[in-house]
Amino acid sequence: MGGRESTMVLLDSEGRRCDGRRVDEPRRIMIKAGGLKNADGSAYIEFGDNKIIAGVFGPREVHPKHLSDTDTGILRVRYHMAPFSVGERKNPAPSRREIEISKVIKEALEPAVMLEQFPRTVVDVFLEVIQADGGTRCAALSAASVALADAGIPMRDMVAACAAGKVADTIILDVNNEEDQAGQADMPIGYMPGLEKITLLQLDGVLTPDEYKRCVRVGIDGCKIVYDLQKKALAEKYFGGQQ
Ligand code: CDP
């Protein structure tokens, strides 16, 4: 991003991106609720070539005990990339990047989860990236929401996430790995569609004020697409597909 412009053609003369998508077209998204028998709730997401499993445990007793809060439950999130999830083997130890992503996903979920109903407890969310291709934080956040709902944790809304960005001076929806590496901006957004509230917004790159507003609008449109698929995944598991 910024200063990493490559010679790769990110947008051709017909307005097609490096993977053949139109500027406003997301990658193929598949979400499944459930799947992990030992978790209280779980979900699996494929977002383009990203493949991520989410497992939720709790509400349960907090260990160590001094971390518990008598007024509310707490949320813990661990985002982790498997060593084989990227081209160059990733050290399995938590990196600074994984610690940051765990923190932003936790903060993006907190406004949605009604933790005040479960004082002194913890809800643990484990996010395992088994294949990464740009946009894992958005895909992981979207899967985490479905897994929390699958665990029966009361929620004010789902959090759906998608990135917008800028390549070849054009605003695009859902930034893939090449576009992230060689493009001009990447803006991951987490959004509660029912409450119309943004819970995650990061920006890597440089945008004008007008481009910034357009990116937010385009990113929210992407979140709404993800939201429909989240609801569909839960409906499939619990109501045989009827929403
Ligand atoms: O995945 P996300 O876009 O949320 O985060 P990022 O830090 O912008 O990473 C972009 C992409 O870089 C990831 O999705 C991976 O495909 C890739 N990556 C990698 O190849 N090796 C790493 N150790 C970390 C990230």
Neighbour-count burial of 218, counting CB atoms closer than 10 A to its CB (0-12 exposed, 13-18 middle, 19+ buried)? buried
Determine if ligand 1 sits within 6 Å of the CB of residue 145: no
- What contacts 54, CB < 8 A, 6 or more positions away? 42, 43, 44, 45, 125, 126, 127, 128, 140, 143, 144, 146, 147
Please choose from 77, 81, 86, 189 the residue to mutate so as to test ligand 1's pocket, defined by most ligand atoms within 8 A of CB. 86
How far from chain centre, in Å, is Cα 222? 12
Please indicate, yes or no, if residue 14 is contained in any of the structural domains.
no
Please indicate, yes or no, if residue 5 is contained in any of the structural domains.
no
Please report which confidence band the pLDDT of residue 7 belongs to, taking 50, 70 and 90 as the band edges.
low
The parent domain of residue 136 ranges over 29-239
Please indicate, yes or no, if residue 19 is contained in any of the structural domains.
no
Determine if ligand 1 sits within 6 Å of the CB of residue 134: yes
The mean pLDDT of 19-30, rounded to a whole number, is 97
How many structural domains comprise the chain? 1
Please report which confidence band the pLDDT of residue 8 belongs to, taking 50, 70 and 90 as the band edges.
confident
The mean pLDDT of 67-91, rounded to a whole number, is 97
The CA distances from residue 189 to 43, 54, 156, 161, 179, in Å, are 20, 19, 18, 5, 16
- With a pLDDT cut of 70, the percent of the chain lying above it is 97
Please indicate, yes or no, if residue 72 is contained in any of the structural domains.
yes
**pLDDT (0 to 100) of residue 241:** 74
Determine if ligand 1 sits within 6 Å of the CB of residue 137: yes
Q: What is the CATH number of the domain that holds 196?
A: 3.30.230.70
Please choose from 51, 88, 136, 172 the residue to mutate so as to test ligand 1's pocket, defined by most ligand atoms within 8 A of CB. 136
Q: What does pTM read for this prediction?
A: 0.96
Please give the structure tokens belonging to residue 215: 């990116």
If phi > 0 it is left, if psi is from -120 to 50 it is alpha, else beta; for residue 174 that is: left
